[in-house]
Amino acid sequence: METNTLPILAAINIRGIRLNNLAMEDALNAIDGALVSKTPVQIAFVNADCVNLAARDPAYQATLETMDWVFVDGIGMKIAGKLLHQPVRANVNGTDLFPRLCAELGQNGRRIFLLGGQPGIADAAAEWAKNHHPGLIIAGTQNGYFGEAKTPAVLERIRATRADVLFVAMGAPRQENWIRKHAAACAATVTLGVGGLFDYYSGTIPRAPQWMRYMGVEWVFRLLQEPGRLWKRYLLGNWMFMARVTTDRLRQQLSGKSK
Ligand code: UDP
């Protein structure tokens, strides 16, 4: 696999999902640019589990196509990029991006709204953000279990806060579908789907130690924390993902030979 010699493209495609292949710094700059120009953008993060989800949920796959930017999340995607001769520039996941984005938003006095998680979790994550980045303005928070009937009231409340950035933490694909349907009504300039992020920053779920994150095995740590819920996602899911990517690689090789 001589991917070192391959150019790093600005956009790559893994299993039919178009991904913006950015460095973390570029992603942050892009978000800042959208805020400065007040250009509404919807952002998703896609990891190996999301690719598996999209393979069996065409509605989610279609929703991802409507996102303005889709960032490449996790070691699985990096391996896929190598196998498919589309080198991944960086692991741009929401959990690592969040503190850096908060720092940038804090410097500019931006307003953020945190939507999702069990009651109290978004408040605790907001407190973390405010304590670490005092310039930030917490426009509001809302748990992610309010049901369809209360949705219009929630949308109205978010809109009234005039948040610049809306973080939606309801897990994939729920959050992306929610963003597709409702982000425009919320009127934040930047809306991101960020999975279980508030659980980490509220201190509810500890994050893997730095060395595990560096080695790309944060998923092992997560699996050990909640084996009952996550074994399918990671043990079965990782194999499924590799099988899917390997099939695409074989297809690539076969079509290369037939030319
Ligand atoms: N969640 C929510 N509303 C729902 C279902 C889930 O707010 O109806 C929250 C849940 O409390 C958790 C997050 O969504 O904080 C999903 O976490 P998970 O680890 O499943 O997401 P991932 O990061 O793996 O996408």
Which tokens go with 106? Answer: 């804090």
- Please tell me the distance between residue 193's alpha carbon and the centre of ligand 1 in angstroms: 10
- Please tell me the distance between residue 52's alpha carbon and the centre of ligand 1 in angstroms: 17
Residue 259 confidence (pLDDT) = 59
Q: Report residue 5's pLDDT band, with 50, 70 and 90 as the boundaries.
A: confident
Average pLDDT, the chain: 95
Residue 12 confidence (pLDDT) = 97
Q: Is 171 in the pocket of ligand 1 (CB under 6 A)?
A: yes
Q: What is the pLDDT of residues 45-85, one digit of tens each?
A: 999 999 999 999 999 999 999 999 999 999 999 999 999 99
pLDDT at 3 over 90: no
pLDDT at 2 over 80: no
Which tokens go with 107? Answer: 């410097």
Residue 224 confidence (pLDDT) = 95
Q: Is 118 in the pocket of ligand 1 (CB under 6 A)?
A: yes
Phi-psi region for residue 122, left (φ > 0), alpha (ψ -120 to 50) or beta? alpha
Q: Is the Cβ–Cβ distance between 102 and 198 less than 8 Å? A: no
Q: Is 81 in the pocket of ligand 1 (CB under 6 A)?
A: no
Task: Determine the Cα–Cα distance for residues 120 and 141; give it in Å rounded to an integer.
Answer: 9
Q: What is the pLDDT of residues 140-163, one digit of tens each?
A: 999 999 999 999 999 999 999 999
Q: Report residue 4's pLDDT band, with 50, 70 and 90 as the boundaries.
A: low
Q: Is 170 in the pocket of ligand 1 (CB under 6 A)?
A: yes
The residue extents of the domains of the chain are: 12-254
